[in-house]
Amino acid sequence: MKKSLKIVASIVLAGVIAVNFGACSKKADPSQNEGDIQETSEHDQYDASQQMIQEMMEGIDPSDYAYVYEKEEIVVGIDENYPFCFVGDNEWIGFEADLAKIFSMFWLEVGLRFERIPHSEVQAALDNKTIDCYWGGLLRSEAEQMNVEISDPYLKDGQIVVMKEDNASEYTSLDQVKDMTFSVAKDSEAEKVVKELGLKYVTADTEMEALFGIATQKAQAIVINGVTASSVIGEGTDYPEMVSTGIILGDDEYVAVFRKGSVLAKLFNAYMEANRKDFEERCLNYGIDPTLLMWDVSGN
């Protein structure tokens, strides 16, 4: 992380407390932020940061940030969902898990603890402060059903039809596959979509098991989110014989969620805006097509 970015982040984070709580937190005192702020004499930069803080805080309750800052830890809710969050070498890794580590350590400058929470329990876990944020393969359509603060989206997605390569070229539209039996992950967005469309389907506990359903001929095709598909099917994966048909049954976007009114959502958005390269690098690390990000990655 570039030092200049860390300085600005430190000013912003200290200012959130200082401006709104009269600098009641000892740790929020800019003079005590490990010498970072003393190293910059650019008062204009500080004034600009204060203005940014005030704009960020408009209509927002800062107490949630104070709560996280005082306990020196943010608890991020996740669930096992490759390639977003999964266990590797006895720790949580993945596209979102890795970014959560950077967000907490280098942007918020607090510790991080992961808490496994299924999507169905996110609202309660935020309300009772079991977690401070949920960042685990959550779609905007799901988040909009909750009473939460939703981050800006960072990744596009859609529910796509995948089948064995030998047959895929024969199918290019929903009408051509409507009589098939599909394999889907239980309680997933894919199950919701096929149910709404009145398609026949069988369920599996995970998307990986749903793929196995095609391999064992329990189904003729799978409906799976495009991000996961891009990293688990095709050449160099466990399912080299599987390909996308290009048939999209629904599109959506991935987001993180926070307690309603929490300033942490705006800090998250500021982090994402300033650290797009982190997101692009993690896409490449986990086999996700970077063009699925919400911004132009071509450099134009």
111 and 196 part of one domain: no
103 and 118 part of one domain: yes
Q: What are phi and psi of 169, to 5 degrees?
A: -65, -15
210 and 259 part of one domain: no
Give domain status of residue 258, yes or no: yes
How far is it, in rounded angstroms, from Cα 61 to Cα 268?
A: 15
The CATH number of whichever domain residue 207 belongs to comes to 3.40.190.10
pLDDT for 13 equals 47
How far is it, in rounded angstroms, from Cα 239 to Cα 245?
A: 15
pLDDT band at 18 (very low <50, low <70, confident <90, very high): very low
Give the number of domains in the chain.
2
List the domain range (segments joined by +) for residue 184. 157-252
262-289 pLDDT per residue, tens: 999 999 999 999 999 999 999 999 988 8
181 and 74 part of one domain: no
Give domain status of residue 43, yes or no: yes
72-106 pLDDT per residue, tens: 999 999 998 888 999 988 899 999 999 999 999 98
Give domain status of residue 29, yes or no: yes
pLDDT for 246 equals 85
189 and 143 part of one domain: no
219-247 pLDDT per residue, tens: 899 999 888 888 888 888 888 888 888 89
Average pLDDT over residues 200-204: 92
Q: Is the pLDDT of residue 25 over 70?
A: no
Residue type, 191: E
Average pLDDT over residues 176-195: 91
Q: How far is CA 184 from the centre of its chain?
A: 21
Give domain status of residue 91, yes or no: yes
Q: Is the pLDDT of residue 8 over 50?
A: no
175 and 78 part of one domain: no
144 and 171 part of one domain: no
261 and 124 part of one domain: yes
Give domain status of residue 299, yes or no: no
- Contacts with 61 (C-beta within 8 Å, 6 or more apart), sequence order: 261, 262, 263
